[in-house]
Structure formats: structure tokens, C-alpha cells
């Protein structure tokens, strides 16, 4: 038996539920999901039962962002093979080989050598792979039915963990393990070591943490802005109002294209900078700047 007004309340709740579903569909582009959107409908991805190790639960199920991680990796591998074959046949790079050379020279001359010196060239394969991989993941989020895996903090955390390992590896190789451990004391009196050593260790982790959050927040934030602008059309339900959000969406899409390149550059630039700081050993550090 329904009380007076119960029907109206139910209708209101149903309308709110629909509105929530609509906004949820808009947010679906930026959220990870167990389904993959295609022009032919949603494709359900494989789900595996989580398992526990040392009290920590691990879910190895395949999600939308995992699929786009694989797609970016496949594109990068195919691009690398194509470029290698092109440059093997021609002494002068042409086509895709010329495009790849542009980015390689840019990363080497504008990022690696200024921050790490000539010794940083040995780390070019890692830095170039990171640059192209992040760039591809960013760009895949701008195509229809695509998704930016870099908008997932788990993905950026994984990239930051690899960067952390490379930063410490570069420092240890340049300084030696003894000198590397000695720098954790900060050069202060031994009585201050209990204070300085935890601070220095914390500083080792703040760098990759900044890399993780910076990339995640910038990529997620841009897509949320797009979703919010599109949502205005449904909020006002007016063709006249729709003109402004659509215009802003087109403009922000072009901005997101620029941000895709910018964030890949910033991640690699900061990683090389942190690696270069660790490689600065007296007489063996990066090349000194001759001007200010």
C-alpha cells in the first residue's frame, strides 16, 4: 500500500537515477571498467578470481585500461620495427624514420645531455621508450571509444616505480654504492644522522610520487573538464546552450592534444633531471653549463 505522495517520490527517485546513469555514462570514458566500448556495443573482458598473497589481495582481471596499455605497447613495437627497417635500408632517414629521428634527437639534445651529460646517452633507450609509451597512451584517449591509461593512478604509479629504480641505478653506477649510501647522511655530524637519514630516504620517494600524481592528475583532469562541459548540454536541455559547450569541447580537445605531448615531455624531462642529480659526482657529473 502506497502512502500519499509515494508515487511522486518514486518518480523523482527514478528520474534522479536516470540522471545518475546519464552522468555515469559520461564519466565512463575516464573511468576504468571491466568492459570495452566498441561501435557494436560493450565487450565484456575476462574476469579472474582475486588471490591473496601475504594478506594483500591481487585482482588480475583484464580491464579497459589494461587493453589500452597493450594497444599502446603493440603500436610502439610496430613503430619501432618499421623505423628500424626503414633506417636500415636508407642511409638518410625518410618518412617514419625521419619522424622518429626528430624525437630521438630532441630527447637527446634537449633533455638527456643538458640534464645528465654525455653519460646520460646510455639511458636513452629507457627514456625514449618511456616518452613514446606515455605519448601513445595519452593520444589513445582522444580517439572515439578510446581511453587514456595514464588517467589511472595505478598505471602512473607503475611508471613512477620504474623511474625510481632507474634513478637509483643511475646514481649508484655513477657514485658507487659506498658514496651513494654516504650521501643519505647529508654530510652532517653523526649525531644528526637519526634525523637526516629518514629525511633523505623520504626525499628519494617524493620524486617518483610527484611524477605519478602529476601525470595522473593532468590526464584525468582534462577528461573530466570535457565530461563536465558535455554534461551542461543535458543539464540545460537547450540547443542554444549546447553551442557554447560544444565549442569549448572542440577547443579543449586541441588543448588535450598539446597536453598529451607536454606530459610525456615533462615526465621524461623530470626523470632525466632526477637521474642527472644522482649522477653528479665530482669530476664525473653532467656537463657544466657555460652560461646562465
Tell me if 92 is assigned to some domain. yes
Tell me if 258 is assigned to some domain. yes
Tell me if 11 is assigned to some domain. no
- Provide DSSP, the chain: -PPTTHHHHHHHHHHHHHHHHHHHHHHTTTS--SEEEETTEEEEPP----EEETTEEE-----HHHHHHHHHHHHHHHHHHHHHHHHHH-SS--THHHHHHHHHHHIIIIIIHHHH-GGGGGGHHHHHHHHHHHHHHHHHTTSTT---GGGSHHHHHHHHHHHHHHHHHHHHHHH-HHHHHHGGGTT--GGGHHHHHHHHHHHHHHHHHHHHHHHHHHHHHHHHHHHHHHHHHHHHT-HHHHHHHHHHHHHHHHHHHHHHHHHHHHHHHHHHHHHHHHT--TTTSSPPPS--
Q: State the pLDDT at residue 289.
A: 41
Tell me if 42 is assigned to some domain. no
Tell me if 157 is assigned to some domain. yes
Q: Residues 213-234: pLDDT tens digits?
A: 999 998 888 878 877 777 777 7
Reported confidence tier of residue 129, pLDDT bands at 50, 70, 90: very high
Tell me if 239 is assigned to some domain. yes
Q: Residues 42-68: pLDDT tens digits?
A: 888 998 888 888 888 888 889 999 999
Tell me if 113 is assigned to some domain. yes
Q: Residues 231-270: pLDDT tens digits?
A: 777 777 777 777 787 788 888 888 889 999 999 999 999 9
Mean pLDDT of 70-79: 95
Tell me if 290 is assigned to some domain. no
The mean of the pLDDT values for the chain is 82
Domain span at residue 264 reads: 56-278
Q: Residues 168-182: pLDDT tens digits?
A: 999 999 988 888 888
Reported confidence tier of residue 94, pLDDT bands at 50, 70, 90: confident
Q: State the pLDDT at residue 158.
A: 95
pTM of the model: 0.82
Domains identified in the chain, total number? 1
Q: Residues 6-52: pLDDT tens digits?
A: 433 344 334 444 444 555 666 666 778 888 888 888 888 998 888 88
pLDDT at 292 over 60: no
Amino acid at each position: 500500500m502506497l502512502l500519499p505522495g509515494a508515487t511522486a517520490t518514486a518518480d523523482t527517485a527514478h528520474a534522479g537515477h536516470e540522471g545518475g546513469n546519464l552522468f555515469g555514462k559520461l564519466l565512463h570514458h575516464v573511468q576504468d571498467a571491466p568492459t570495452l566500448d566498441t561501435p557494436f556495443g560493450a565487450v565484456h573482458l575476462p574476469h579472474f578470481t582475486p588471490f591473496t598473497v601475504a594478506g594483500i589481495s591481487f585482482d588480475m582481471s583484464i580491464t579497459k585500461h589494461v587493453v589500452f596499455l597493450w594497444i599502446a605497447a603493440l603500436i610502439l613495437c610496430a613503430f619501432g620495427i618499421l623505423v628500424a627497417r626503414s633506417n636500415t635500408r636508407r642511409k638518410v632517414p625518410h618518412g617514419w624514420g625521419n619522424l622518429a629521428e626528430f624525437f630521438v634527437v630532441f630527447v637527446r639534445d634537449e633533455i638527456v645531455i643538458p640534464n645528465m651529460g654525455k653519460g646520460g646517452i646510455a639511458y636513452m633507450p629507457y627514456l625514449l621508450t618511456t616518452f613514446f609509451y606515455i605519448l601513445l597512451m595519452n593520444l589513445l584517449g582522444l580517439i572515439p571509444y578510446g581511453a587514456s591509461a595514464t588517467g589511472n593512478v595505478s598505471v602512473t604509479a607503475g611508471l613512477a616505480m620504474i623511474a625510481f629504480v632507474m634513478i637509483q641505478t643511475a646514481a649508484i653506477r655513477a657514485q658507487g654504492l659506498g658514496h651513494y649510501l654516504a650521501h643519505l647522511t647529508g654530510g652532517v655530524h653523526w649525531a644528526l644522522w637519526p634525523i637526516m637519514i629518514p629525511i633523505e630516504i623520504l626525499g628519494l620517494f617524493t620524486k617518483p610520487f610527484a611524477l605519478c600524481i602529476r601525470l595522473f592528475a593532468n590526464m584525468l583532469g582534462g577528461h573530466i573538464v570535457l565530461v563536465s562541459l558535455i554534461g551542461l548540454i543535458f543539464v540545460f536541455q537547450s540547443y542554444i546552450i549546447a553551442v557554447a559547450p560544444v565549442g569549448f569541447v572542440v577547443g579543449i580537445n586541441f588543448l588535450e592534444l598539446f597536453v598529451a605531448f607536454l606530459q610525456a615531455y615533462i615526465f621524461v624531462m623530470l626523470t632525466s633531471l632526477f637521474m642527472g642529480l644522482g649522477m653528479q659526482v665530482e669530476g664525473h657529473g653532467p656537463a657544466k653549463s657555460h652560461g646562465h
